[in-house]
Structure 1
Amino acid sequence: MASITIRNLDPEIKEALRKRAAHNGRSMEEEARHYFAQMAAPLAPLPETPVAASVTVSDPSSQTLAGKRICLIIGGGIAAYKCLDLIRRLRERGASVRPVMTNAATEFVTELSVGAIANDIVFSELFDREAEHDVGHIRLSREADLIVVAPATADLMGKMSHGLANDLASTVLMATDKPVLIAPAMNPKMWDHPATRRNRKTLQDDGIHFIGPRAGEMAESGEAGYGRMAEPLEIVSAIEQLLDDRPKPLAGKKIIMTSGPTHEPIDPVRYIANRSSGKQGYAIASALADLGADVYLVSGPTNLSRPHGVNVVDVETAREMHDAVHQLLPADAAIFVAAVADYRAASEADEKIKKEKGGINAIALTENPDILASIGNHKTKRPHLVIGFAAETQDLIKHGASKLKRKGADYIVANDVSPDTGIGGNTGVMGGDRNRVTLITKKKNDAWPEMSKKQVAQELAALVARQLVTTKV
């Protein structure tokens, strides 16, 4: 089969791919692989409102890094090419980027291309007469708000952990008094090597921040595993969080969340599930983490990127979700967004149930544990704030109020998912990017206007913050 490269695509397709890759937090190459793997249709235009839950970075137009100065140290690995996109993403958000390149890095990308995109001088030599007339390595290490190392090779990590300073990059890192974020990138065997593991622990103990690496295919043929550098948008998100000096009203608060569907096996091939995408829950987890909360997200199967700064526990079934939530207690708050399957097969077949004449007469079902009720009515470890979600197709307020009482919740976030009166169609609540909810309490019902799921998440996170800061927990 013939191979293709991104640069050979038609300009319109290439632009659509670039937008969708940014939208989903992937590189263009990964986005293309994702579509081919899923046998997807040709790229379609993005919806007007981006899917907030699957992307954990800001809109570039929001200038989230305006006035921030980043010293970017580019190490000598094949992933160095990603730094060109990283620089562009940072500058889109208002940051200035001062590049420092190791000699090995110049073998992968040129100083000319890095300097052109950064719109700044590229520094690479420790003993540069012009740069060092005012002790340049000290100035570079101190004038930035953050030092970012991407890619952070095994060699650079080794130098950092052992305090070596024999080139400009390692000297800047030794001389800085600013936070340092590294994005490791190396062969999986190198990442798993005992020496690298020791260096990682040392750097973590020293307060160095990490983003990645991720699992995937390596540049070397036949090599795969943990070692791929985090994507530029992931690194941007980590930088935004490190430089975010806004008040964090939920700092020190532990919040348990559930999101996504559950899959209840019938046989090794089939399962009972629902249409939940997990987008709303992931958006809420991101919003809570953005306010400083220590968020534990128990997630059913989804295709979403993990929210940065959120502890994700992957589960498949309702019973696994129930057990994971209870193991995470105690907590200050618990928010149950997951669309948990109410029933499961009473017995799971060991072999695939074959199609026979007359079909399957019946599958015996049994009830799944009620996770929300088990926490809302917990005798000893009930969180101070318990919020449940209710997706209804009729009698929204009536069913939501009944659920509030039965489950022992403080709030029920009810939404109409019917195709007639809810936000129906292909962009419906379940799988779509928008939502319209009603907040139900014992005293009143508060109908919120239709908004993006990101906006719903931000409003709900603000509500949680108000509740927890005014309650002694």
Structure 2
Amino acid sequence: MSVLSGKKIVLGISGGIAAYKTATLVRLFIKAGAEVQVIMTPASKDFVTPLTLSTLSKKPVFSTFYNEEEVPGQDGILVKQNASWNNHVELGLWADLMIIAPATANTLSKMVNGTCDNLLLATYLSAKCPVYFAPAMDLDMYKHPSTIASFNALHAFGNTIIPAESGELASGLSGEGRMAEPENIVAFLENDILGKLPLRGKKIMITAGPTYEAIDPVRFIGNHSSGRMGFEIADEAAKLGANVVLITGPSHLNVSHKSIEVVRVVSAQEMYEACHAHFNTTDVAIAAAAVADYRPKNIALQKIKKSESSFSIALEKTNDILASLGQIKKNQFLIGFALETENEIENAKLKIQKKNLDLIVLNSLQDEGAGFGTATNKITFIDANFTIEPMDLKSKEMVAQDILNKVIAHYND
């Protein structure tokens, strides 16, 4: 799956002959799973039609600050009314990426100097996301000192150039200045984004969900965990470039990032075996699953009939997955979860010591909005030095980001 999947891309098109290539570029972005909003300068519409790009992007194409609808007036003459504003600020904030292709010498100069005479430039000045530009011009223009100065200034602003290619130019000359081919632009973006992802090359193993411990063929001992916290961590880790293995107990959830390897298990023993199968090649292990502490000592082969007024089940301990990983840990960064109802901090500290953890994520059922079956969570981080860091109530997606920020910080130390 492309790293562009799920990205919101603003594609800015300025007035150069290479604008005809943007139809292919839009198709490639859509094929990669991105959402594309096209913004055109007025001059670019002489080279490619908004209708073409709107059809391919499945969105209206913007080129002016406001739209006006023409309707017949009382004397039959068309009059403009119902003006709607194309909000450049919202467009700039919406985007995950902004790509200006082709970027003509004129548009590059305006970007450098803050000239804001069209919607594309206004959106560029409002953008908070990474901005890429693909220059397109004749070879002498491409090498002119003023153009080089524009490249250097935009680089200093934090923008990224997608270098022009050599080939036949519109003037009939052959040389450098030709806009990169659409396939090469997509490849450049993918490689650049991947190279900057903070967890690229790291293997992260995550456990999630409950375990079900069979009593008989139809009954089991389990808990109310939905697995949402672990699934959110897995999705966020994949977005940050990690190779993710998600080992999950029974859950109706699915990952949104298709590159995640999902291992589905049922019992604590199955989860134990799956974790040990992956742990030696893992850089980070995050144990977010709610694993059963006990299981029936004997599993009935047939459904147990209701006969007596009371019924007892002999239980035995399950293998402690987290403790077993702590015992064989080498260089792995090991994170555990603790769900407590009393003496939360002290119990979490004991867990860190007993299980040889680097970090523990403490949940308290005393906190409203935390625990099983909620869309939110309220956690406290405690590290191996017993540094305590309470966090605010947040969505589980944001909590997952906080947890992975701890992982990133570990490797940046």
Q: TM-score range by the shorter chain?
A: 0.5 to 0.7
Question: Does 2:226 match 1:283?
Answer: no
The answer for unaligned runs of 5 or more in structure 2 is 13-21, 41-51, 62-100, 103-131, 133-180
- How far apart, CA to CA, are the structure 2 residues paired with 1:351 and 1:367? 23
| Alignment match, 1:132 | none
* Cα distance change, pair 358–288 in 1 and its aligned pair in 2 (3 A): same
What's the CA shift string for 1:362-395, capped at 9, x where partnerless?
01111111010001121xx534311000011111
1:336-355 map, 5 Å: 336-355=287-306
TM-score when normalising by structure 1: 0.51
1:413-432 map, 5 Å: 413-417=361-365, 421-423=366-368, 428-432=370-374
Bigger radius of gyration:
2
Question: Does 2:364 match 1:438?
Answer: no
Task: Please state how far the C-alpha of 1:90 moved relative to its aligned partner.
Answer: 1.9
| Alignment match, 2:209 | 260
* Cα distance change, pair 433–244 in 1 and its aligned pair in 2 (3 A): farther
Task: Please state how far the C-alpha of 1:307 moved relative to its aligned partner.
Answer: 3.6
- How far apart, CA to CA, are the structure 1 residues paired with 2:358 and 2:57? 55
- How far apart, CA to CA, are the structure 1 residues paired with 2:246 and 2:57? 41
| Alignment match, 2:115 | none
- Choose the corresponding residue for 2:325, options 347, 370, 375: 375
1:434-473 map, 5 Å: 434-441=376-383, 442-470=385-413
- How far apart, CA to CA, are the structure 2 residues paired with 1:461 and 1:316? 26
Q: How many residues align?
A: 270
The answer for unaligned runs of 5 or more in structure 1 is 1-56, 74-82, 98-110, 121-141, 146-173, 181-239
* Cα distance change, pair 315–241 in 1 and its aligned pair in 2 (3 A): farther
- How far apart, CA to CA, are the structure 2 residues paired with 1:115 and 1:452? 35
* Cα distance change, pair 344–383 in 1 and its aligned pair in 2 (3 A): farther
1:233-272 map, 5 Å: 244=193, 247-272=196-221
Greater relative CO, 1 or 2 (CA 8 Å, sep 6+): 1
Task: Please state how far the C-alpha of 1:350 moved relative to its aligned partner.
Answer: 0.8
* Cα distance change, pair 322–95 in 1 and its aligned pair in 2 (3 A): farther
Q: What secondary structure sits across from 1:72 in the alignment?
A: helix
| Alignment match, 1:318 | 268
Counterpart of 1:253 in structure 2: which amino acid?
K
- How far apart, CA to CA, are the structure 2 residues paired with 1:326 and 1:289? 21
| Alignment match, 1:363 | 313
* Cα distance change, pair 307–242 in 1 and its aligned pair in 2 (3 A): farther
Q: What secondary structure sits across from 2:218 in the alignment?
A: coil
Q: Contact conserved, 1:334 with 1:383, CA < 8 A, in 2?
A: no
Task: Please state how far the C-alpha of 1:269 moved relative to its aligned partner.
Answer: 0.6
Q: Contact conserved, 1:319 with 1:369, CA < 8 A, in 2?
A: yes
Q: Contact conserved, 1:263 with 1:316, CA < 8 A, in 2?
A: yes
| Alignment match, 2:335 | 387
* Cα distance change, pair 117–177 in 1 and its aligned pair in 2 (3 A): closer
Q: What secondary structure sits across from 1:296 in the alignment?
A: strand
Q: Contact conserved, 1:375 with 1:382, CA < 8 A, in 2?
A: no
| Alignment match, 1:32 | none
1:2-401 map, 5 Å: 64-67=8-11, 70-72=25-27, 90-91=35-36, 94=37, 114=55, 117-119=58-60, 176-177=183-184, 244=193, 247-308=196-257, 309-330=259-280, 331-359=282-310, 361-378=311-328, 381-401=329-349
Q: Contact conserved, 2:348 with 2:360, CA < 8 A, in 1?
A: yes
What's the CA shift string for 1:29-87, capped at 9, x where partnerless?
xxxxxxxxxxxxxxxxxxxxxxxxxxxx86xxxx73233875338xxxxxxxxx9xx99
Q: Contact conserved, 2:338 with 2:348, CA < 8 A, in 1?
A: yes
Q: Calculate the aligned-residue CA RMSD, in Å.
A: 3.6
TM-score when normalising by structure 2: 0.58
Q: Contact conserved, 2:27 with 2:56, CA < 8 A, in 1?
A: no
Counterpart of 2:408 in structure 1: which amino acid?
A
- How far apart, CA to CA, are the structure 1 residues paired with 2:39 and 2:364? 45
Question: Does 2:362 match 1:411?
Answer: no
- How far apart, CA to CA, are the structure 1 residues paired with 2:248 and 2:192? 28
- How far apart, CA to CA, are the structure 2 residues paired with 1:315 and 1:389? 19
* Cα distance change, pair 246–300 in 1 and its aligned pair in 2 (3 A): same
What's the CA shift string for 1:186-237, capped at 9, x where partnerless?
xxxxxxxxxxxxxxxxxxxxxxxxxxxxxxxxxxxxxxxxxxxxxxxxxxxx
Q: What secondary structure sits across from 2:380 in the alignment?
A: strand
- How far apart, CA to CA, are the structure 1 residues paired with 2:292 and 2:10? 45
- How far apart, CA to CA, are the structure 2 residues paired with 1:368 and 1:288? 29
- How far apart, CA to CA, are the structure 1 residues paired with 2:319 and 2:327? 13
> In percent, how many aligned pairs have the same letter?
35
- How far apart, CA to CA, are the structure 2 residues paired with 1:115 and 1:372? 50
Task: Please state how far the C-alpha of 1:468 moved relative to its aligned partner.
Answer: 2.2
| Alignment match, 2:15 | none
Q: Contact conserved, 1:88 with 1:117, CA < 8 A, in 2?
A: no
